[in-house]
Amino acid sequence: MLSRRRMIAASASGALAFGGVMPRALAQATDKLVRMIVGFPAGGGTDVTARVLAEALHGTYASTIIVENKAGASARLAVEYVKNAPPDGSVMLFTPDFPMTLYPHSFKSLSYDPLKDFIAVSPAAKGMLTFVVGPEVPDTVKTLADFVQWCKANPDKANYATTSAGGTPHFTGVMLASEAAIPMSPVHYRGGAPAIQDLVGGHVPASINPVGEVLEFAKAGSLRVLAVTGAKRSPFLPDVPTMKESGYNIVVESLSGVFLPANTPDKIVGALSDAMREASRSKEMIESLARSGSEPAFQTPAEFAATIKFKIARWAPVVKASGFVALD
C-alpha cells in the first residue's frame, strides 16, 4: 500500500500520482510534474500496468508522476495528445504496441506516424492474450476446438469482444476465424473492463483479453480460458494450452511501453531509458506485474524502435487479407 504522503489525488479522469520518497540509485531526471497518458479507462490491464510503472519510476525519473486516462477513438486520442505535447519529458505515452504497429494498416486515415512522431523509449511489460468464454457458452465447451464447433452450430451467436477496433485482440480473432473457417464477428469496447463486464454478464459469448484482465475471473470460475496466444504457455495459466497446441497456427505476444514526442532531447530520453532499465529489475515491479499476469521487459530506445518497425511489417499482410478498414 502507498502511504498517504506518497499518494495525491489527481483529476476526475482517473489520475493517480506518486511522489514523496527519496530517489533510488539514479539521479532524478526532472523536477517537473510528469504525466503518463493512457488511452484506456481506469481498471483495465493497460491502466494497471501503467500505475505499476509510474510507482517504479518515481524518485528516479521524476518526483511526481500522474497516470492520466484519456480513453476514446480506440486509444488514438491518447496517442494524438502525446504527439502534440511539449517534447520536454513532462508528458509520456504508455500503451500496448498495437496503436503503433497495427493502426497504420487498419485505419484509413491516421493522424500520426508511429516512427516519425514518437521516440520509442522502452517496453515495460510483455505478455500474451487469452481466448476466454463466459456463461453464454455451454459448460460442455471446454476447448478452443469445442468453441469452434459451437460457433458453427450457432452462427448467430458467434461473436467475441475486443478492447478496440483495429487492435491486436481484434485481429487475433480475425486470424482465428480465418483458420477455423467460422463467421466470428468482433464486438468492440472502449477497454478491457467493460468487455469483461459484458462477458461475465452473458451479453457476449467470448472475448480476447490480456492475461491479467481475466485471471481473477478464471480463478473464481466465472469465466473459462480456452487458450492463450503465446509461443509457450503462460506461467500464470500453466494448465491452459496455447492456440498452436489447440491446432491453430496463431502466436501473438504483446509489449506495453513508453513513447515520448519526437524531438525530445537525447538527455531526457536517456534518463527515462535508464530509469526504466532499473525499474525492470526491481523486485517490486516484478511482483506487481506478476499479480497482473505479465512480466517486466526492457529494450534500449534503438531496440524498441526496431521492434516497432518489425511489428508494423508483420501485421501488414494480416490486415490486408482481412479487408478491414476503420473509417473513424
Grid cell digits, residue 240: 491452459
**Does the pLDDT of residue 167 top 80, yes or no?**
yes
**Does the pLDDT of residue 5 top 80, yes or no?**
no
Question: Is the residue at 250 inside a domain?
Answer: no
What residues contact residue 27 under an 8 Å CB cut-off, 6+ apart?
Answer: none
Q: CATH number of the domain that 279 lies in?
A: 3.40.190.150
Helix (H, G, I), strand (E, B) or coil at 264: coil
What residues contact residue 302 under an 8 Å CB cut-off, 6+ apart?
Answer: none
- Judgement on whether residues 271 and 180 belong to the same structural domain of the protein: no
- Judgement on whether residues 86 and 160 belong to the same structural domain of the protein: no
73 pLDDT tier (thresholds 50, 70, 90): confident
Environment class of 67 (CB within 10 Å of its CB; exposed 0-12, middle 13-18, buried 19+): buried
Q: What is the pLDDT of residue 26?
A: 52
**For the segment 113-130, what is each residue's pLDDT rounded down to a tens digit?**
999 999 999 999 999 999
Residues in the chain: 328
Question: Is the residue at 273 inside a domain?
Answer: yes
- Judgement on whether residues 115 and 9 belong to the same structural domain of the protein: yes
Question: Is the residue at 95 inside a domain?
Answer: yes
What average pLDDT does the segment 139-168 reach?
94
- Judgement on whether residues 191 and 299 belong to the same structural domain of the protein: no
Residue where a domain stops, chosen among 228, 244, 275: 228
Question: Is the residue at 244 inside a domain?
Answer: no
- Judgement on whether residues 149 and 177 belong to the same structural domain of the protein: yes
Characterize the bridge pairing of strands 185-188 and 159-162.
parallel
- Judgement on whether residues 282 and 206 belong to the same structural domain of the protein: no
- Judgement on whether residues 156 and 208 belong to the same structural domain of the protein: yes
**What's the Rg (C-alpha) of the chain?**
19
**For the segment 20-60, what is each residue's pLDDT rounded down to a tens digit?**
333 444 556 677 899 999 998 888 778 989 999 999 998 89
- Judgement on whether residues 277 and 302 belong to the same structural domain of the protein: yes
- Judgement on whether residues 13 and 29 belong to the same structural domain of the protein: yes
Question: Is the residue at 136 inside a domain?
Answer: yes
Q: What is the pLDDT of residue 256?
A: 96
How does DSSP classify residue 33?
A: -
**Does the pLDDT of residue 155 top 70, yes or no?**
yes
Q: Which of 5-9, 246-250, 316-320 is least confident?
A: 5-9
- Judgement on whether residues 8 and 121 belong to the same structural domain of the protein: yes
What average pLDDT does the segment 276-289 reach?
94
Q: Is-contact 64 11, C-beta < 8 A?
A: no
Q: What is the pLDDT of residue 252?
A: 95
Closest CA to 37 of 261, 267, 199, 232: 261
Question: Is the residue at 239 inside a domain?
Answer: no
List the beta bridge partners of residue 207: 132, 161
- CA gap 120, 304 in Å, rounded: 6
- Judgement on whether residues 203 and 264 belong to the same structural domain of the protein: no
Q: What is the pLDDT of residue 317?
A: 92
Q: What is the pLDDT of residue 212?
A: 86
Residue where a domain stops, chosen among 211, 228, 245: 228
Closest CA to 133 of 89, 179, 84, 173: 173
Q: CATH number of the domain that 161 lies in?
A: 3.40.190.10
Domain count along the chain: 2
Q: What is the pLDDT of residue 276?
A: 97
What average pLDDT does the segment 3-30 reach?
42
Residue where a domain stops, chosen among 228, 246, 276: 228
| pLDDT above 70 as % of the chain | 91
Grid cell digits, residue 313: 511489417
- Judgement on whether residues 26 and 119 belong to the same structural domain of the protein: yes
Range of the domain at 141: 128-228
- pTM for this model (two decimals): 0.80
How does DSSP classify residue 217?
A: H
Question: Is the residue at 233 inside a domain?
Answer: no
Question: Is the residue at 247 inside a domain?
Answer: no
Q: What is the pLDDT of residue 6?
A: 36
**For the segment 210-236, what is each residue's pLDDT rounded down to a tens digit?**
898 899 999 999 999 999 999 999 999
Instruction: Tell me how far CA of residue 143 lies from CA of 131, 173, 189, in angstroms.
Output: 10, 16, 25
Q: Which of 36-45, 138-147, 274-283 is least confident?
A: 36-45
**Does the pLDDT of residue 9 top 50, yes or no?**
no
